[in-house]
Amino acid sequence: MIKKIGLSLAITTALFTGAVTAGVEEIVTVATRTEANLAEVIGSVSVVDTEALKLVSHAHVQQALSRVAGVNLHRGNGQEYLPAVRSPVLTGAGGCGGFLMQEDGIPIRAAGFCNINELFEANTEMAQRIEVLRGTGTVLHGSNAMHGVINIVTPEISQESNLGLEVGANDYGRLTFKSGTETLGIAANLTHDGGYRDDSGFDQQKVSLRHAYKNGDVKIDSGITLTNLNQETAGFIEGLDSYKDDAQVELNLNPEAYRDVRSARVWSRISKAEQNYKLIVTPYLRYSKMDFLQHFLPGDPLEENGQKSLGVQVGYYRALSDTLNVIAGFDAEITDAYLKQSQDSPTIGSFFLRSTIPMGQHYDYQVDATMAAPYMHLDWSVNDQLSVSGGLRFESMRYDYSNNMLAGRTKADGSLCQFGCRYSRPESGKDNFNNWSSNLGAQFKLSDTHSTFVRLARGFRAPQATELYRLQRAQQITDLDSESVDSVELGIAGDTESLSYKVAVYHMEKDNVIFRDSSFFNVSDGKTEHQGIELELDYEINSQWSVGISATQARHTYLSDTLVGAVDSLGNGVEVNINNNDIDTAPRNFGSARLVWTPDSTKTVELEWQSMGSYQLNPENFNQYEGHDIAHLRAGWEVSESIRVYANISNLTDEQYAERADFTTFSQERYFPGTPRSMQVGVELAW
């Protein structure tokens, strides 16, 4: 319903609006790594700008990104989440490989070593803006940019100083600080959350530093981001509709679970500009370390992983003529990563589980990886109305894997499990993956304020290291191909004095989809289809009232004949062909609508409605989550030039809902219950 209302409003207003003035030019970097006018980018790019981020004042990045059509992050507990951008919510060892997460144009993780929660390693809380490219990325992105790209832009250097304090329910508190000189800036935040569930909560610290230097036509912008997260994690609650039971929503069935994460990124963007060209060289260093108890697995094994990487991005931007521009570049990086998994207590559960999941070390391996990728992109202004762009990229990924334990399906000491050990370790070896990506697009200006576009793209992702080397059961070697996606989208957009809208229709097909089959083997013979329509609209009714809509209608389906073992509603074991079934955790519709009141330039009140449609919980489509609707109320008041106060009420009507619904292999629904109604208030001082 929200999609139909918003779409009708967008089309009607666009057709019948009289002579108006174009909106303010908006700059983005997510598509080209350099500043570009959003209106001239061919494709679906959305921006959560400074004002929206200030109003939302998000404690979790999902709260900010829910304002973007096509983006559907499912919150876990604490700072955890599962991502979806023009996709189902992707899970599993390589699910994070469907999306490219960046900070200041640099991937947060190396291509083959993503983490499903990696945005909590970016300083989103202090971001200047968040840019989202929906759909397959450009040739400047490479591996993982299959369904979308999210780029966190840290604050530019400012000599204005800000100090903020925010407090709220469940012992929540956050301190923020931002300041700078002409050449140096800092943006930091310290957060404590006691958690609304038993034995949960987190402490988090993030700081971003920026430095600027200029000498003639040479400019050097540098940045450092450091993060630390110490989280006590609450796991799923179990049982049909248990999220509706007041006695269960605060329970924590995994009080022992935790997650500790540290990360650091350092980069310098060195640019030299002449009359008709610009050269940008960006070297960077990354470090991350994570320890977490896998409460979602039998035996609660501890995973320890870490990575160090060194990389460089080189881009040469040249105007070949008044109408033709070229970007030629090269990306390269080397990565040193490790993963360990161990269990220090006996497995609890059935006799089979106790017999197949032993105590002791399960995995201990190291991977040295290299990536190299040349690319070229062209932009051609055919005439005043028509522009065309296209590009090609070749990327080579190489893994050098070293197993530090006995190879095979055994306990750490080489002894056998009664029914065969669950965890399997392949022999040391090397793997290589070579891939091409491409994109071609055209944009036609219907008028000074309205345009339409078409875009074709092919993307890919190499298998993640965990998919290649973290095996189970009888599998001793993988023969995985890189996933690939072909996409086409059509769109229309407009930006006038009172109306801004974007409508996009897309179709995507993925081949060589990597998944774990019924034998617990990692295979890459899956195929899926993704299609939908998205609307983003902002309309100023008058000087005080405005509305915003972000709506998505989509269907994500399995396309390959795959038989899976399942239990039907009568408790009988059956085999189901999932071809043409909805992919699990893929709602067909979701979105948000926002009503904003600004009685004057110093006050803002926003009422936001978020709607989540129903979705399937398993590939067999036997079990379903019914969906939910929740509301949030936000208000901010600029008391003076130096004082701002604000308040946010989340889940205004205190709805019982699930942030995430799931279904276990042991035939039981489980949920992360949504947070009950809660309030945060804050004050910000500026000088």
For residue 672, pLDDT beyond 90: yes
CATH class of domain segment(s) 2-686 = mainly beta
For residue 439, pLDDT beyond 80: yes
Q: Tell me the per-residue pLDDT of 242-265, one tens digit each, with 9 for 90 and over.
A: 999 999 999 999 999 999 999 999
Alpha-carbon gap, residue 655 to 634, rounded angstroms? 17
Burial group, residue 430, by CB count within 10 angstroms (0-12, 13-18, 19+): exposed
Q: How far is CA 618 from CA 123, 160, 510, 516, in A?
A: 34, 51, 19, 14
Mean per-residue pLDDT for 334-356?
95
Closest CA to 400 of 427, 434, 435: 427
pLDDT at 1: 40
Angle 543-549-555 (CA atoms, 0-180°, nearest 5)?
170
pLDDT at 520: 84
Place of tokens 């220090």: 344
pLDDT at 563: 74
Mean per-residue pLDDT for 428-439?
97
Closest CA to 455 of 31, 44, 30: 44
Mean pLDDT, rounded, of the chain: 93
pLDDT at 568: 60
**pLDDT confidence tier of residue 75, bands split at 50, 70 and 90:** very high
* H helix count then E strand count, the chain: 5, 40
User: What CA dihedral angle connects 407, 409, 412 and 414, to 10 degrees?
Assistant: -80
pLDDT at 569: 58
**pLDDT confidence tier of residue 24, bands split at 50, 70 and 90:** low
**pLDDT confidence tier of residue 20, bands split at 50, 70 and 90:** very low
pLDDT at 44: 97
Return the amino acid letter for 3: K
Mean per-residue pLDDT for 265-290?
96
Mean per-residue pLDDT for 187-199?
97
Burial group, residue 517, by CB count within 10 angstroms (0-12, 13-18, 19+): middle
Alpha-carbon gap, residue 618 to 667, rounded angstroms? 10
pLDDT at 517: 80
For residue 13, pLDDT beyond 60: no
| Cβ neighbour number for residue 683 with a 10 Å cutoff | 14
* Helix/strand/coil percentages in the chain, nearest 5: 10, 55, 35
For residue 320, pLDDT beyond 70: yes
Q: What is the pTM of this model?
A: 0.94
Alpha-carbon gap, residue 686 to 46, rounded angstroms? 29
Mean per-residue pLDDT for 226-241?
96
Q: Tell me the per-residue pLDDT of 563-621, one tens digit each, with 9 for 90 and over.
A: 776 666 556 667 788 999 999 999 999 999 999 999 999 999 999 999 999 999 999 99
For residue 23, pLDDT beyond 60: no
Return the amino acid letter for 33: R
| Cβ neighbour number for residue 64 with a 10 Å cutoff | 21
Question: DSSP class of residue 96?
Answer: G
Mean per-residue pLDDT for 99-125?
96
Q: Which helix (H) or strand (E) holds 273?
A: strand 258-273
* CA atoms within 13 A of residue 236's CA, in its CB half-sphere: 17
**pLDDT confidence tier of residue 266, bands split at 50, 70 and 90:** very high
Alpha-carbon gap, residue 538 to 685, rounded angstroms? 30
Alpha-carbon gap, residue 233 to 294, rounded angstroms? 10
Q: Tell me the per-residue pLDDT of 34-68, one tens digit each, with 9 for 90 and over.
A: 999 999 999 999 999 999 999 999 999 999 999 99
pLDDT at 430: 97
pLDDT at 10: 40
Q: Are strands 148-153 and 99-103 parallel, antiparallel or unpaired?
A: parallel
| Cβ neighbour number for residue 12 with a 10 Å cutoff | 10
pLDDT at 22: 41
pLDDT at 374: 98
pLDDT at 668: 87
pLDDT at 666: 66
Q: Tell me the per-residue pLDDT of 360-390, one tens digit each, with 9 for 90 and over.
A: 999 999 999 999 999 999 999 999 999 999 9
pLDDT at 93: 84
Alpha-carbon gap, residue 561 to 527, rounded angstroms? 9
Mean per-residue pLDDT for 636-640?
97
Q: Tell me the per-residue pLDDT of 396-410, one tens digit each, with 9 for 90 and over.
A: 999 999 999 999 999
For residue 190, pLDDT beyond 80: yes
Alpha-carbon gap, residue 407 to 349, rounded angstroms? 27
Over pLDDT 70: what percentage of the chain?
95
Mean per-residue pLDDT for 168-173?
97
